[in-house]
Amino acid sequence: MITDPYPRLFLVVVLAFAGLGPTRGVARAQSRPIPVGQFEKLDPRNFERPTHIDNEWSPLKPGTQFVYEGTTIEDDGTAVPHRVVIHVTDLIKVIGGVPSLVSWDLDYSDGELVEAELAFFAQDDDGNVWRMGEYPEEYEDGKFVAAPAWIHGIEEARAGIEMKAKPQPGTPSYSQGWAPAVDFTDRGQVDQTGQKTRVRSGSYEDVLVIAEVSGVEPDAQQLKYFARGVGNVRIGWRGKAEKTKETLELVQVVRLDPKALAEVRAKALELEKSAYKNSKNVYGRTPPAERMPDATSKASTENGRGGRP
């Protein structure tokens, strides 16, 4: 899966380049175990404009494409090219009573598509961005092999915080989602603030760094770098677990024209059809995604209710 920016867009992690990295600001938090098994409480009544995601650290505007590139270290130590493309669609899917914005994400390893994913996000009235669920399809040699989906409210899965409204150092860790059926137990914690980083898309200051850990890999942390008004620009790692040695950096942010956005929407809906077929017990229990109202219904779109079936 892909996160974010998007985890399994929790998977992404970024190359450390000479001369880059922290130069000033709040020192990073002391490395310590992050508790697993505690989740956030979602209240559907606290989502008046859930699809209007303008969190300064993780904005998601329909029609935006993020392109990430880096490498993955395989078991034999070989570094292979890794590319992730995230598309913020103009689709809305209601999950747990909350209209959620849909992203369509593609993960390539050495030029081969190894995963396609639908991910769902909503912003609450306090400005926190929630990850409401994921539908990833995994491929090998071009053939479907698995779809470890999780959706809030189904099979004990719980939505989690993708980004806090006001992330502060020294605050407790938080669940980014809880889905024991597919071993999704990621947690995040503010690790550094006020940092600088430079990637192919540009140079950024006052960067926020979030450390993420998973219950299946407690000996490693992914370090995600967030720039104001942009989102996730870089991902690094620390720890012993070799499986997390993936590196990605933001290389391009594209605003899609109406034709390109329509093509993205069609591809996302095509993946949703597959989801209903391959994940009947999870995805099959959700209502279909619907397109946001067009510009003539702007007010309805902005309050997030226009996509409610």
Q: What confidence tens digit (pLDDT) does each residue in 220-230 have?
A: 888 999 999 99
CA diameter of the chain = 55
* Residues whose CB is less than 8 angstroms from the CB of residue 273 and which lie 6 or more positions away in sequence, other chains included: none
Q: What is the pLDDT of residue 148?
A: 98
pTM across the whole model: 0.84
pLDDT surpassing 70 at residue 20:
no
Least confident of 9-23, 82-96, 247-261: 9-23
> Given this model, what pLDDT does residue 244 score?
53
pLDDT by residue (tens digit) across 209-223? 999 998 777 778 889
Interval 57-85: pLDDT, tens = 999 999 999 999 999 877 777 888 999 99
Give the mean pLDDT of 31-52: 79
Query: Per mean pLDDT, which range of 25-34, 92-101, 168-177 is the poorest?
Result: 25-34
Q: Using the predicted structure, report yes or no on whether residue 23 has a pLDDT greater than 70.
A: no
Q: What is the mean pLDDT of the chain?
A: 85
Residue 152 binned pLDDT confidence (cut-offs 50, 70, 90): very high
Per-residue pLDDT at 11 exceeds 60: no
Sign of the Cα torsion 139, 281, 130, 297 reads positive
